[in-house]
Amino acid sequence: MRALARAITLVERRDPSIRRLEEMLRQDARVPGVVGFTGAPGTGKSTLVDSVVALLRKNGQSVAVLATDPNSPFTGGAILGDRIRMQRHALDTKVFIRSMGARGHLGGLSLATREAIRLLGAFGFDEVILETVGVGQSELEVAAMADTTIVVLTPNLGDSVQMIKAGILEIADVFDVNKADLDGHTRVMTELRAMLSLSPKAGWKPPILATVASRQEGIEQLWDAVLAHRRHLEKSGQAQALTEQRLRDETAEVAAELARRRAREALDKDPELAKRLFDDRTPYRTAEEILDRKR
Amino acid sequence: MRALARAITLVERRDPSIRRLEEMLRQDARVPGVVGFTGAPGTGKSTLVDSVVALLRKNGQSVAVLATDPNSPFTGGAILGDRIRMQRHALDTKVFIRSMGARGHLGGLSLATREAIRLLGAFGFDEVILETVGVGQSELEVAAMADTTIVVLTPNLGDSVQMIKAGILEIADVFDVNKADLDGHTRVMTELRAMLSLSPKAGWKPPILATVASRQEGIEQLWDAVLAHRRHLEKSGQAQALTEQRLRDETAEVAAELARRRAREALDKDPELAKRLFDDRTPYRTAEEILDRKR
């Protein structure tokens, strides 16, 4: 566990030794199941994730939770929640929980998360749960990284209207109406069903589940829906395509990061190049020149 | 105006012709003043920006407003607001207003905005106003691009507490308490003053202004504070350093984008390389190999 935690820290810090880590772990590479939980704050995502973790542990599976908060460059809050959760599972070496903040580095969280998933696979974890904290673009990123994206709603009209606006309909593989003991849950489910029936999407039809995470209700059915979606991906050949697409994306992001670093180094070490950039205001020409230099 | 709008569209689309555009506009390059407005939704930022635009036009200056919304990959809402605003200034060729959405492309908005600022300078605009829509990381990005960052608050305790949490204290060059006709505005200003007196920051002390944007009150004083900050940057030599830092950052981001594109192209065109990546799961090795190839 300590080695894994350290490895993820290297990945978060974008330490150059990740390159060696990759080679070291190459033979152990396997692909964990990746399930994303997304939804507005207050939908009870964390409680829901905890319930799923409990279910998976009961089934004898190992599980890692990566809670990502791309909107906060500071990790204080996340780390606090992290510690409280970690205490609960402190003696269980089959549960790994980690909060990942953006550390003020745009694009970095997505890459670090992808690499953390790869590390978790190499360390033998069966399932990885991605949990988004906060709002905004995070949903789309999680959807790009997860095999199955669960959109969590509550019995509240605001949520479902919001959802259409943000285009979340397209990224959901499974809908979950959590806090289904509250008034209005049938209305939300009816609304969702009506909306989905209008969707022209062929193939997988996202099921709509209901849970009361605080009472562990509906969790097995929710996980069954995840497994059904996974079987659909396998059968249709999309599973392999997704894995390959993710490796492509990760390679492109690593290349971007290496190029960014090369550009900064070149400008630091070559005052003439920097002076020409400042005089001419030509970032494109300068960037091309740097990338085309012999190494 | 039409040429400028088209040029910004090329930049947003990451069209390869930006490279040529850069060369074409090189001789016209000049640096506009860049002022960022940031703050929580509901603080009246848009009205405030409109009042500042009116003031600048009265002073005979040309001004461009870039409203950036990194949290929305979809531009529908922004475009609507855009059009309403545009109508008001439709006949004034010295006002340019543009909404920029994230288009689902992380990191892209920041780069596109930097380049749009450079284009606006080449097209002769005196001032560029960056307005953030939504919440989250956008504040930090705007602060990195603007010479002067104005943090807008309202007479509401929630705002000021929020502000400390998000670390906005560090990015503010000027504070503006808008809606200063509401109860509680003196309390917010007192709180802010107390907070700032605790700040160990040397050099520029962010002034705290009060405006009622809906009634055009306090706008001239606010702009005077911006100009005072600008003079401070010039005198202290920070203005030149900021311009250079921005060109460095832009070059690094352009290099990252070029590398990302090269990686995708290489994997598309070289099935063997792609197969090795999928078999070995080695994005780092693959990315390095692609960047080190001869062009």
Disruptive mutation site among B109, B254, B269 for chain A (greatest number of A CBs within 10 Å):
B254
Chain A residue numbers with beta carbons less than 8 Å from the beta carbon of B277 are 247-248, 251
In this prediction, residue B259 has a pLDDT band, given cuts at 50, 70 and 90, of: very high
Q: Using CA atoms of B255, B256, B260, B266 in order, give the dihedral in degrees to the nearest 10.
A: 40
- The minimum CA-CA distance between B4 and chain A, rounded to whole Å, is 18
How much is the average pLDDT of A62-88?
A: 61
Among the listed residues B28, B31, B9, the one whose alpha carbon sits nearest the alpha carbon of residue B18 = B9
Q: Do A255 and B291 touch (CB under 8 A)?
A: yes
Among the listed residues B1, B284, B33, B48, the one whose alpha carbon sits nearest the alpha carbon of residue B176 = B48
Cβ–Cβ contacts within 10 Å for residue B3, how many? 9
Give the separation between CA A289 and CA B11, rounded to whole angstroms: 20
Among A159-173, B75-89, B106-120, B124-138, which is the least confidently predicted range? B75-89
- The minimum CA-CA distance between B92 and chain A, rounded to whole Å, is 29
CB-nearest to B22 from A104, A262, A284 is A284
> What would the two tokens of residue A158 be?
């605001």
- The minimum CA-CA distance between B14 and chain A, rounded to whole Å, is 12
Whole-angstrom distance between the N-terminal and C-terminal Cα of chain A?
Answer: 37
If DSSP codes are grouped into helix, strand and coil, which group holds residue B234?
Answer: helix
Give the separation between CA B231 and CA B182, rounded to whole angstroms: 32
Which tops the pLDDT comparison, A81 or A145? A145
Give the separation between CA B276 and CA B14, rounded to whole angstroms: 29
pLDDT per position as a tens digit, A255-274: 999 999 999 999 999 999 99
pLDDT per position as a tens digit, A124-135: 999 999 988 655
- Mean pLDDT comparison of B38-52, B98-112, B153-167, highest-scoring range: B38-52
Q: What pLDDT shows up at residue A105?
A: 44
Q: Chain B residue closest to A118 (CA)?
A: B281
Give the separation between CA B49 and CA B240, rounded to whole angstroms: 26
DSSP result, B101-134: E-TT-TTHHHHHHHHHHHHHHHTT-SEEEEEE-S
Q: Do A283 and B106 touch (CB under 8 A)?
A: no
> What would the two tokens of residue B19 be?
């490279």
Task: Quote the percentage of chain B above a pLDDT of 70.
Answer: 82
CATH code for the part of the protein at A2-236 = 3.40.50.300
Q: CB of A180 within 8 A of CB of A209?
A: no
Q: Do B23 and A282 touch (CB under 8 A)?
A: yes
Chain A residue numbers with beta carbons less than 8 Å from the beta carbon of B7 are none
Q: What pLDDT shows up at residue B281?
A: 86
The rounded radius of gyration (Å) of the Cα atoms in chain A is: 21
Average pLDDT, chain A: 83
Which tops the pLDDT comparison, B170 or A265? A265
Q: What pLDDT shows up at residue B73?
A: 46
How much is the average pLDDT of A223-231?
A: 97
Residues whose CB is less than 8 angstroms from the CB of residue A174 and which lie 6 or more positions away in sequence, other chains included: A148, A149, A150, A151, A206, A207, A209, A222, A225, A226, A229
Q: Chain B residue closest to A22 (CA)?
A: B282
Q: What pLDDT shows up at residue A114?
A: 86
How much is the average pLDDT of A153-176?
A: 72
Give the separation between CA A101 and CA A165, rounded to whole angstroms: 26
3-state secondary structure B156-177: CHHHHHHHHHCCHHHCCCEEEE
Disruptive mutation site among A110, A262, A281 for chain B (greatest number of B CBs within 10 Å):
A281
Q: Chain A residue closest to B18 (CA)?
A: A284
How much is the average pLDDT of A30-49?
A: 86
pLDDT per position as a tens digit, A175-209: 999 999 988 888 888 888 888 887 766 789 999 99
Q: Do A104 and B287 touch (CB under 8 A)?
A: no
Among the listed residues B205, B165, B210, the one whose alpha carbon sits nearest the alpha carbon of residue B184 = B210
Give the separation between CA A251 and CA A196, rounded to whole angstroms: 35
Q: Chain A residue closest to B139 (CA)?
A: A71
> What would the two tokens of residue B252 be?
């690094």
In this prediction, residue A162 has a pLDDT band, given cuts at 50, 70 and 90, of: low
CB-nearest to A18 from B277, B284, B290 is B284
How much is the average pLDDT of B140-167?
A: 74
Which tops the pLDDT comparison, A232 or A88? A232
CB-nearest to A107 from B107, B140, B267 is B107
To 5 degrees, how large is the angle CA B159–CA B160–CA B166? 85
CATH 3.40.50.300 residue ranges of chain A are 2-236
> What would the two tokens of residue A193 be?
């069903």
Please state the φ and ψ torsions of residue B36, each to the nearest 5 degrees. Answer: -100, 135
CB-nearest to B136 from A71, A250, A256 is A71
Chain A residue numbers with beta carbons less than 8 Å from the beta carbon of B252 are 259-260, 263-264, 267, 287
Q: What pLDDT shows up at residue A80?
A: 45
pLDDT per position as a tens digit, B53-100: 999 999 999 999 988 765 554 443 344 455 566 566 767 889 988 887
Q: Do A263 and B274 touch (CB under 8 A)?
A: no
Which tops the pLDDT comparison, B206 or A170? B206
Is residue A72 pLDDT above 70, yes or no? no
Which tops the pLDDT comparison, B29 or B62? B62
Please state the φ and ψ torsions of residue B101, each to the nearest 5 degrees. Answer: -90, 170
